[in-house]
């Protein structure tokens, strides 16, 4: 990690609005535990992902939900499950992200869920396709106190946007972003921070400059460029590879894969361990606890918060064994090595952040 990124990382952490003694001391314990990569994870994960919906109305071709290779059922998390986790560990958690797989805005209790976490002083954010059924949800998200929203807009034109966000409408996302910007202004606050995410794929990569203009004209706060990954593929390797840039002469730094006759592989150094196993966790829509949001099918489940306390699951034998195995030989774990073409992106040292922030 470069000095610049260390300074940036701590600057971001220090500027968090919700420090308390409990959160801060817990965070120190978590970081020490992560540094020594202990089998027992001391402290409570400071970052919690709550998959409030594993359903989605879109069909993005590389996403397991979009290409129908998703093996779990599509469901919405019950409020009781959400509340149970927030009640148990919310005092220690800095941030809740309302994602796993799926589209969080489909959960009709999303506004209550945001409010509940905000009342406990937790920073709440979400990633969304922002194809909303009801415009009234926009004011609701602001009223509920959402801190930040990352809106997936992979194209500056109808044609390019709709090629990846299959089933989504370009007009709808543009109008929803405009409405959100206007409503935030009308309500007089600064939150949520409105971030637009653009994933440069082969068909839309030339839209990057236009995206900056579009984001500026819509009045959103930032444009993030996210490096694409292939998830585990659709089964049609050639079709999958068509989405990612393979011509090195055109390399703009946003594609970190190399594709040759052996398939796609990352052109990056590997990490020793996966830090998520100490710093973060995912509660899937049915309450199952999984190590990360890359466990699409829920193949590595350590327990269920509907039955057990989160803290009993966090350091049970299966979680501990998984940490040890990841540390010893992560490539032997199917989830970390085979569920992604080229291996899990999180096990590679990225050139810089996954999300490159461009001024809007
Ligand atoms: C599975 S989605 C769930 C959230 C929401 N449905 C969405 O699409 O924004 C999690 C994140 O992965 C992003 N994503 C989708 N396809 C991707 C790809 N091929 N490479 C990298 N990220 C991708 C989404 O935009 C989102 O930020
Ligand atoms: S909108 Fe999100 S969850 Fe839905 S198919 Fe696309 S990437 Fe997957
Ligand atoms: S799949 Fe990736 S993020 Fe998940 S536990 Fe394995 S290395 Fe970590």
Hey, CA dihedral for 334, 318, 76, 184, is it positive or negative?
negative
Question: Looking up tokens 């941030």, which residue turns up?
Answer: 95
Asked if residue 326 has pLDDT above 90, the reply is yes
Exposed/middle/buried for 287, CB within 10 Å: 0-12, 13-18, 19+? buried
Residue-wise pLDDT tens digits, 19-30: 999 999 999 999
- Point out the ligand nearest to the CA of residue 290: 3
The predicted structure's pLDDT at residue 20 = 97
The whole-number pLDDT of residue 250 equals 64
* 313 neighbors 305 (Cβ within 8 angstroms): yes
pLDDT at residue 248 tops 70:
no
Tens-place pLDDT, residues 73-103: 999 999 999 999 999 999 999 999 999 999 9
How far is Cα 301 from Cα 20, in angstroms, rounded to an integer? 31
Verify whether ligand 1 is closer than 6 Å to residue 197 (CB atom).
Answer: yes
Asked if residue 197 has pLDDT above 90, the reply is yes
Angle between helices 79-89 and 110-119 in degrees, nearest 10: 10
Residue percentage of the chain with pLDDT more than 90: 74
Looking at residues 265-280, what average pLDDT do you find? 87
148-152, 236-240, 249-253, 301-305: which range is least confident on average?
A: 249-253
Cα 168 to averaged position of ligand 2 atoms, centre (Å): 10
| Helical (H) or strand (E) element with 257 | strand 257-260
- String of b and e for 134-143 (b: at least 16 CB within 10 Å)? eeebbbbbbe
pLDDT tens digits, residue range 306-322? 999 999 999 999 999 99
**Ligand 2 mean position to 344 CA, how many Å?**
18
Centre of ligand 3 from the C-alpha of residue 281, in Å? 11
Mean residue pLDDT across the chain: 91
Whether the CB of 65 sits within 6 Å of ligand 2: yes
Q: Report whether 223 contacts 254 (CB < 8 A).
A: no
Q: What's the chain's length in residues?
A: 360
Query: 0.75 cut: is pTM over it?
Result: yes
Ligand 1 atom 23, closest CA: 228
């Amino acid at each position: 990690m470069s000095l610049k990124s260390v300074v940036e990382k701590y600057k971001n952490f220090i500027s968090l609005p919700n420090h308390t003694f409990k959160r801060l001391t817990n965070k120190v314990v978590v970081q020490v535990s992560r540094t020594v990569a202990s089998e027992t994870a001391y402290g409570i994960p400071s970052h919690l992902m709550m998959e409030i919906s594993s359903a989605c109305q879109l069909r993005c071709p590389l996403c397991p939900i979009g290409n129908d290779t998703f093996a779990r059922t599509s469901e919405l998390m019950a409020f009781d499950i959400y509340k149970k986790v927030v009640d148990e560990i919310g005092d220690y958690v800095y941030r809740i992200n309302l994602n796993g797989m799926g589209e969080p805005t489909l959960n009709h209790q999303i506004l209550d869920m945001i409010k509940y976490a905000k009342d406990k002083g937790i920073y709440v954010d979400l990633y969304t396709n922002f194809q909303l059924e009801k415009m009234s949800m926009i004011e609701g998200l602001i009223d509920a106190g959402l801190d930040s929203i990352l809106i997936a807009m992979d194209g500056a034109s109808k044609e390019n946007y709709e090629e990846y966000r299959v089933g989504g409408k370009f007009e709808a996302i543009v109008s929803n972003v405009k409405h959100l910007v206007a409503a935030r202004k009308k309500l007089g606050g600064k939150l949520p921070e409105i971030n637009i995410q653009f994933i440069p794929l082969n068909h839309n990569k030339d839209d990057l400059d236009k995206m900056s203009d579009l984001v500026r004209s819509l009045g959103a706060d930032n444009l993030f460029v996210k490096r694409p990954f292939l998830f585990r593929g659709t089964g049609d390797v050639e079709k999958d590879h068509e989405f990612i840039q393979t011509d090195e002469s055109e390399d703009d730094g946003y594609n970190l894969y190399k594709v040759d006759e052996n398939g796609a592989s990352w052109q990056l150094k590997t990490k020793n361990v996966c830090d998520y196993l100490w710093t973060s966790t995912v509660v899937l829509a049915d309450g199952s606890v999984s190590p990360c949001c890359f466990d699409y099918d829920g193949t590595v489940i350590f327990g269920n918060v509907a039955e057990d306390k989160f803290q009993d699951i966090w350091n049970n034998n299966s979680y501990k064994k998984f940490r040890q195995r990841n540390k010893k030989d992560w490539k032997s774990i199917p989830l970390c090595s085979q569920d992604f073409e080229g291996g899990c992106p999180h096990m590679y040292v990225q050139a810089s952040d996954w999300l490159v922030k461009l001024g809007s």
